[in-house]
């Protein structure tokens, strides 16, 4: 009986107490619009999501595989598929097809802000709303730029799509023409420029960041219009305008690129804090957080678990605490600076050096600050790079490099740093080994962005915190010079190039310059900044530069009987050959997207 009483009371209590709650409660674990759009913190958090997804090709970025995700293997560098570096990639094919980047989810996040912020504008001052709207336009342009440079024409989505409210037929959108996507990017960046203020907090956009991106994007569009209409792959997508831009549009885009670059004049400047030592100045430009040259950066920290591995994976373990290196600058890159290095005497014999460091004398400071040469020093340790030992060496360098090298019988190589020959170490602790590639293959190491102040014990994986400079003023100047050159304004191009060369410690250009002068300057200044691959593509010269091409190394040898060093210009030891197929001027539309939306056909030519 008592039991029955309890049961009844429990049931009654359960019914009555439950009735005190409404069942229609908003879930607490979902952030609602009013949480975001009613206060500044909400907007800041929302912006952080967008900026985090922004396709900045930073230390982590690789052209294939994990793409923008955060692996430690930063030697999977896009420069290593096109001859700026030699690296872990077996050939250009390994990474030319991309990784199926398709950020329409992120674009929707931006569009959502663009639709909902104006509805809640009463909550904030007008300047703030404008600034945020401007940032949103900037970010949307950034996403579309990342898409169009890969795929050509993609669907332009300006409004938030909703599923299942909208029928699937309506959501299966068609591609837009490539030229229209570039114009859309220009329009978004113009809106961004007008809405945003002159200054912004670090790592976020202001009006000049938008202008800088515009100068980059419009330069791409102009070159694709000009050179892509001469060198192209035929196919349905091209016939329908989804890839390729009419040549008649080129000058308009170049003009926009030049105008946008000009806007930054006087607001940013080249880094010149230590001009009495131009090499050190150039090194510090990439490490000094307060550089007036930085336009848009991305920061990393240990506490936010975003620290990267550049230090641990760009130089070998002799200089670091963990990891390994696998990507090394090619001799072809080094020769962009002043042609062939002075390693051969006029009579054809290899020049004798007392030590390997002697070669660095008289080279351009910017080159020395970009690449670690044999004999350079990092964290108190010297790059003792040495390929091997010759007992003796006679004859010319050319004959030694031919099919029947006369001194090969006196040459000693090794796959291990322990190996000695007559008490001398055969190879250096920093290479060049006959075994593996975790020491240099070319004689060089990347120096740009390497934090020389960091203690060796702190050079482990995911421990580096130097900022990535996504856009810097030097690039804007180069965009301007290239656009000027394409528009026939040689004077402006020379002026701008000489500003850069002065900072770099290089002699000014004089006399007639060509477009190749400007392009070469760009390749030197922006080396290893993940631009070279896109530049080769947009100039439509990749299929000529990478045409069964093999790259060279600068290999130091010790000559035992002379107690001297020589350098030989050999093929890099892996002798890989790189070929760019013309279809890679565009990546294929990702297969998964084609499966979901047949309206994305035709795919890009030859896929």
Partner 1 sequence: MQRIFKGLLIGLFLLSTYSCTKTDNQPGPNAGFQGRLLDVTNGKNNFSTETGGVQIKLEELSWSETPTPQYIPSKPDGTFEDTKLFSGHYRVTPVNGAFWPVDPVELDINGLTTHDFELTPYLKITNFSHRLSGDTLIMEFKLAAPVTEGLPTIIDAQPFVNITPYVGAGATISQYTNPPDQSKPNKIDINSNWDDSIAQKTYVMKVPDLKHGRTFYARVGVRVNDSYKQFNYSDVVEVQVP
- Which of 85, 96, 154, 233 contacts partner 1 by CB under 8 A? 233
287 binds partner 1 (CB under 8 A): no
Least spacing, CB of residue 569 vs partner 1, in Å: 6
The CA-atom distances, in angstroms, between 575 and each of 314, 330, 532, 550, 572 are 21, 12, 21, 6, 5
Total length of the chain: 607
605 binds partner 1 (CB under 8 A): yes
Q: According to CB under 8 A, which residues from 323 to 362 bind partner 1?
A: none
If the CB atoms of residues 94 and 438 are measured against partner 1, the closer one turns out to be: 94
Distance CA 318, CA 309 (A): 16
CA 189 and chain centroid, separation: 21
Least spacing, CB of residue 126 vs partner 1, in Å: 48
If the CB atoms of residues 262 and 582 are measured against partner 1, the closer one turns out to be: 582
Question: Which of these segments, 148-156, 194-202, 232-240, 498-506, binds partner 1 (CB under 8 A)?
Answer: 232-240
Distance CA 369, CA 129 (A): 43
**HSE of 309, CA atoms in CB hemisphere, 13 A:** 23
If the CB atoms of residues 508 and 591 are measured against partner 1, the closer one turns out to be: 591
If the CB atoms of residues 120 and 577 are measured against partner 1, the closer one turns out to be: 577
231 binds partner 1 (CB under 8 A): yes
152 binds partner 1 (CB under 8 A): no
Q: Are 251 and 222 in contact (CB under 8 A)?
A: yes
- Which of 99, 232, 410, 462 contacts partner 1 by CB under 8 A? 232
Least spacing, CB of residue 295 vs partner 1, in Å: 38
The CA-atom distances, in angstroms, between 459 and each of 424, 464, 465 are 29, 7, 10
Q: According to CB under 8 A, which residues from 508 to 547 bind partner 1?
A: 543
**HSE of 581, CA atoms in CB hemisphere, 13 A:** 14
Q: Which two tokens stand for residue 21?
A: 């709650």
Instruction: Choose among 356, 313, 586: nearest CA to 461.
Output: 313
Q: Report the chain's terminal Cα–Cα distance, integer Å.
A: 80
For residue 243, the 8-state DSSP code is S
Least spacing, CB of residue 432 vs partner 1, in Å: 17
Q: According to CB under 8 A, which residues from 571 to 600 bind partner 1?
A: 571, 577, 581-583, 591, 594, 598
Distance CA 5, CA 11 (A): 10
401 binds partner 1 (CB under 8 A): yes
Instruction: Choose among 526, 533, 505: nearest CA to 286.
Output: 526
235 binds partner 1 (CB under 8 A): yes
If the CB atoms of residues 203 and 343 are measured against partner 1, the closer one turns out to be: 343
If the CB atoms of residues 187 and 398 are measured against partner 1, the closer one turns out to be: 398
Question: Which of these segments, 54-62, 377-385, 396-404, 420-428, binds partner 1 (CB under 8 A)?
Answer: 396-404
569 binds partner 1 (CB under 8 A): yes
| Binding-site string for partner 1 from residue 402 to residue 441, where x marks contact by CB under 8 A and - marks none | xx--------------------------------------
If the CB atoms of residues 80 and 568 are measured against partner 1, the closer one turns out to be: 568
If the CB atoms of residues 556 and 605 are measured against partner 1, the closer one turns out to be: 605
Phi-psi region of 534 (alpha: psi -120 to 50; beta: other; left: phi over 0): alpha
Least spacing, CB of residue 395 vs partner 1, in Å: 13
Q: Which two tokens stand for residue 174?
A: 């068609």
How big is the site for partner 1, counted in residues (CB under 8 A)? 26
Q: Which two tokens stand for residue 70?
A: 């955060």
Distance CA 502, CA 496 (A): 10
If the CB atoms of residues 114 and 536 are measured against partner 1, the closer one turns out to be: 536
Burial of 520 (0-12, 13-18, 19+ CB in 10 A): middle
If the CB atoms of residues 303 and 404 are measured against partner 1, the closer one turns out to be: 404
Question: Which of these segments, 14-22, 92-100, 393-401, 527-535, binds partner 1 (CB under 8 A)?
Answer: 393-401
Burial of 24 (0-12, 13-18, 19+ CB in 10 A): exposed
Q: Are 482 and 535 in contact (CB under 8 A)?
A: no
Least spacing, CB of residue 607 vs partner 1, in Å: 8
Least spacing, CB of residue 398 vs partner 1, in Å: 6
If the CB atoms of residues 470 and 543 are measured against partner 1, the closer one turns out to be: 543
234 binds partner 1 (CB under 8 A): yes
- Cα-Cα-Cα-Cα dihedral of 69, 74, 80, 81, to 10°? -20
Q: Are 509 and 519 in contact (CB under 8 A)?
A: no
Question: Which of these segments, 90-98, 211-219, 397-405, 437-445, binds partner 1 (CB under 8 A)?
Answer: 397-405
Which residues share a beta bridge with 577? 550
Q: Rounded to the nearest 10 degrees, what angle do helices 40-53 and 126-151 cross at?
A: 10
If the CB atoms of residues 121 and 571 are measured against partner 1, the closer one turns out to be: 571
| Residues forming the site for partner 1 (CB under 8 A) | 231-235, 397-399, 401-403, 543, 548, 550, 569, 571, 577, 581-583, 591, 594, 598, 601, 605-606
């Amino acid at each position: 009986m008592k039991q029955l009483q309890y049961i009844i009371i429990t049931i009654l209590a359960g019914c009555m107490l439950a009735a005190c709650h409404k069942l229609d409660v908003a879930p607490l674990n979902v952030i609602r619009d009013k949480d975001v759009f009613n206060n500044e913190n909400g907007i800041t958090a929302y912006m952080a999501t967008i900026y985090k997804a922004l396709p900045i090709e930073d230390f982590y970025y690789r052209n294939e595989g994990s793409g923008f995700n955060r692996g430690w293997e930063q030697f999977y560098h896009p420069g290593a598929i096109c001859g700026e570096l030699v690296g872990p990639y077996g050939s250009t094919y390994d990474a030319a097809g991309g990784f199926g980047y398709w950020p329409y989810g992120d674009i929707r996040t931006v569009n959502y802000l663009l639709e909902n912020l104006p509805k809640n504008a009463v909550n904030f001052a007008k300047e703030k709303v404008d600034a945020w709207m401007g940032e949103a336009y900037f970010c949307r342009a950034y996403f579309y730029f990342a898409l169009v440079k890969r795929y050509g024409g993609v669907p332009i989505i300006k409004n938030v799509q909703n599923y299942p409210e909208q029928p699937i037929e309506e959501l299966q959108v068609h591609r837009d023409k490539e030229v229209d996507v570039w114009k859309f990017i220009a329009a978004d960046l113009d809106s961004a420029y007008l809405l945003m203020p002159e200054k912004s907090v670090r790592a976020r956009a202001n009006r000049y960041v938008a202008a800088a991106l515009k100068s980059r994007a419009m330069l791409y569009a102009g070159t694709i219009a000009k050179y892509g209409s001469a060198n192209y792959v035929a196919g349905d997508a091209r016939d329908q305008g989804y890839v390729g831009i009419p040549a008649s549009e080129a000058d308009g885009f170049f003009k926009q690129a030049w105008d946008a670059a000009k806007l930054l004049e006087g607001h940013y400047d080249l880094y010149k804090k230590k001009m009495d030592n131009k090499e050190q100045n150039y090194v510090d430009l990439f490490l000094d957080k307060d550089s007036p040259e930085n336009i848009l950066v991305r920061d990393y920290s240990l506490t936010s678990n975003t620290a990267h591995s550049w230090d641990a994976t760009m130089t070998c373990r002799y200089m670091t605490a963990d990891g390994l290196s696998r990507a090394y600058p090619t001799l072809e890159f080094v020769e962009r600076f002043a042609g062939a290095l002075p390693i051969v005497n006029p009579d054809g014999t290899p020049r004798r050096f007392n030590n390997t460091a002697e070669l660095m004398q008289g080279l351009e400071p910017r080159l020395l600050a970009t690449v670690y040469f044999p004999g350079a020093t990092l964290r108190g340790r010297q790059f003792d790079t040495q390929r091997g030992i010759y007992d003796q060496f006679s004859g010319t360098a050319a004959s030694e490099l031919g099919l029947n090298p006369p001194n090969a019988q006196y040459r000693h190589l090794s796959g291990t740093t322990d190996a000695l020959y007559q008490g001398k170490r055969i190879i250096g602790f920093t290479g060049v080994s006959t075994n593996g590639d975790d020491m240099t293959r070319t004689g060089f190491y990347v120096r740009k962005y390497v934090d020389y102040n960091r203690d060796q014990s702190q050079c482990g994986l995911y421990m580096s915190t130097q900022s990535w400079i996504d856009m810097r003023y030097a690039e804007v100047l180069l965009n301007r010079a290239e656009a000027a050159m394409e528009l026939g304004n040689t004077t402006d191009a020379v002026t701008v190039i000489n500003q850069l060369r002065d900072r770099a410690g290089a002699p000014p250009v004089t006399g007639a310059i060509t477009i190749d002068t400007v392009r070469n300057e760009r390749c030197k200044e922006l080396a290893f900044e993940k631009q070279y691959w896109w530049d080769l593509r947009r100039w439509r010269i990749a299929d000529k530069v990478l045409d069964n091409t093999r790259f060279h190394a600068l290999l130091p040898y010790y000559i035992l009987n002379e107690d001297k060093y020589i350098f030989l210009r050999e093929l890099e030891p892996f002798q890989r050959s790189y070929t760019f197929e013309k279809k890679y001027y565009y990546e294929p539309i990702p297969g998964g997207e084609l499966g979901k939306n047949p309206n994305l056909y035709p795919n890009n030519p030859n896929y």
